[in-house]
Amino acid sequence: MKKVTGIGGIFFKCNDVEATKEWYQKHLGIKHDEYGHTFWNRDVDLPDNKMSQQWSPFKKETDYFDPSKQEFMINYRVENLDQLIAELKSSGVQLIGEAQEFDYGKFAWILDADGRKVELWEPANESLFEK
């Protein structure tokens, strides 16, 4: 089974979300919406499939990264999240909370060997969500 298929997003804490988004837009050309920016590309193996990576600044005081105290969190794209969760549990990997499902995909969270929270995402059909 293929596990991680790519990076789904980079999330980081900052002092001022709007000022950070504006700085990145002005200096690096990263246009933003309320969540940050979605980068779109194609799957090399399946060129008809669109793929996204999310770039999102969070408020410094967010609890979304808890229990980790890190300033960032990486979201990994995965295949078959349910099977991966079962494998991780059987390997003793610490899961955080319960898996969740939304119209844009399934999510689960784990702690890595250094206590960083990692987000796992099995995308839904991303072609439906491209702007």
Q: CATH 3.40.50.300: does it fit domain 4-128?
A: no
pTM: 0.86
What is the tens place of the pLDDT at every residue in 41-91?
A: 887 887 887 888 999 999 999 999 999 999 999 999 999 999 999 999 999
Strands of the sheet containing 95-102, edge to edge, are: 37-42, 50-59, 4-14, 72-78, 117-123, 105-111, 95-102
Output the CA torsion sign for 62, 103, 39, 99: positive
